[in-house]
C-alpha cells in the first residue's frame, strides 16, 4: 500500500513538473548532474523543477544537456524570460539566431565546443571557447551594436528580436517600401485590385476551356 501511494505521489509530481517545465525533448536524466543552470538557480533563490529553473512562476533557466537536441524548439511564450540556457552534451551541428528569437532576456548561453555563439561578437558582449564548451555572455542589442538604420526615424524603428536578430518595423501611420508611405495600408483597394482581375481571368478561362471541350466532343 505504501509503495502504491509513493508511486502515485511520484507520478503526480512528474506530471506537475512537466506542466511547469514543458520541455519537448526526451532527456537522459541518469547523466544529469549539477549544472550551470542549477548553480544559477541557487544564486537567484529559485528552484529547479525538472529541467527548468523557476523563479516564482517564471522560467528563467533551462538545462537541455543530454536531451538529444538537434534543433532548438523553445519558442513557447513560457520560455520568453529565460536568462540562462545550457545546450551542451547534444549532437548539435549548428545553432542559428532564428532558433533564439524572442529570448530577449538570455544572457548566459552554453553550447558544445564546436558551435560558435549565434550572431557572433555583434550579439554577445563576451564569447569564450575552451576545451569542452562555448560560452556566450551578456546579449547585445544588434540595433545598437550593428548601428542598424531603418531609414527616417519617424517612419520606422529597429526592433531587437533576440540574439543576433533584429527587424525594421514601420511606425504607426507608415507602410510600404522603407515605410515611406504615409497613412494606413489600403487593404480595400489592394484586395479589389487582386480579386477583380482574378475573377475576370477565371471566367475567361472557363469559357475558353469549356468551348474547347465542347468542340472535342463534337469531333
Predicted confidence (pLDDT) at residue 193 exceeds the cutoff of 70? no
List pLDDT tens digits, range 136-192: 999 999 999 999 888 787 788 999 999 999 998 888 878 776 687 775 644 555 465
* Rounded Cα gap, residues 176 and 126, in angstroms: 37
Per-residue model confidence (pLDDT) at position 5? 35
Q: What does each C-alpha distance from 18 to 13, 21, 25, 73, 187 come to in angstroms?
A: 9, 5, 11, 16, 44
- Specify the pTM: 0.71
Q: Under a CB-based contact definition with an 8 Å cutoff, are residues 38 and 48 in contact? A: yes
Give the percent of the chain with pLDDT over 90. Answer: 43
Mean pLDDT: which of 54-58, 131-135, 152-156 is highest? 54-58
- Name residues whose C-beta falls within 8 Å of residue 182's C-beta, 6 or more positions apart in sequence: 173, 174
Q: What is the pLDDT of residue 61?
A: 96
Amino acid at each position: 500500500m505504501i509503495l502504491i501511494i509513493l508511486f502515485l505521489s511520484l507520478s503526480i509530481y512528474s506530471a506537475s513538473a512537466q506542466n511547469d517545465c514543458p520541455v519537448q525533448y526526451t532527456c537522459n536524466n541518469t547523466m544529469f548532474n549539477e549544472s550551470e543552470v542549477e548553480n544559477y538557480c541557487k544564486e537567484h533563490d529559485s528552484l529547479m523543477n525538472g529541467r527548468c529553473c523557476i523563479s516564482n512562476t517564471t522560467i528563467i533557466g533551462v538545462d537541455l544537456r543530454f536531451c538529444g537536441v538537434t534543433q532548438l524548439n523553445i519558442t513557447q511564450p513560457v520560455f520568453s524570460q529565460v536568462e540562462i540556457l545550457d545546450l551542451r552534451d547534444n549532437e548539435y551541428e549548428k545553432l542559428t539566431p532564428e532558433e533564439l528569437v524572442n529570448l530577449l532576456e538570455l544572457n548566459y548561453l552554453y553550447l558544445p565546443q564546436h558551435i560558435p555563439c549565434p550572431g557572433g561578437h555583434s550579439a554577445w558582449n563576451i564569447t569564450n571557447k575552451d576545451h569542452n564548451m562555448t560560452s556566450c555572455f551578456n546579449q547585445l542589442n544588434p540595433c545598437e551594436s550593428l548601428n542598424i538604420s531603418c531609414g527616417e526615424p519617424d517612419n520606422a524603428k529597429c526592433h531587437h528580436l533576440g540574439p543576433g536578430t533584429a527587424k525594421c518595423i514601420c511606425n504607426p501611420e507608415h507602410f510600404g517600401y522603407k515605410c515611406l508611405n504615409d497613412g494606413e495600408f489600403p487593404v480595400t483597394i489592394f484586395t479589389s485590385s487582386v480579386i477583380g482581375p482574378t475573377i475576370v481571368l477565371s471566367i475567361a478561362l472557363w469559357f475558353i476551356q469549356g468551348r474547347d471541350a465542347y468542340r472535342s466532343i463534337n469531333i
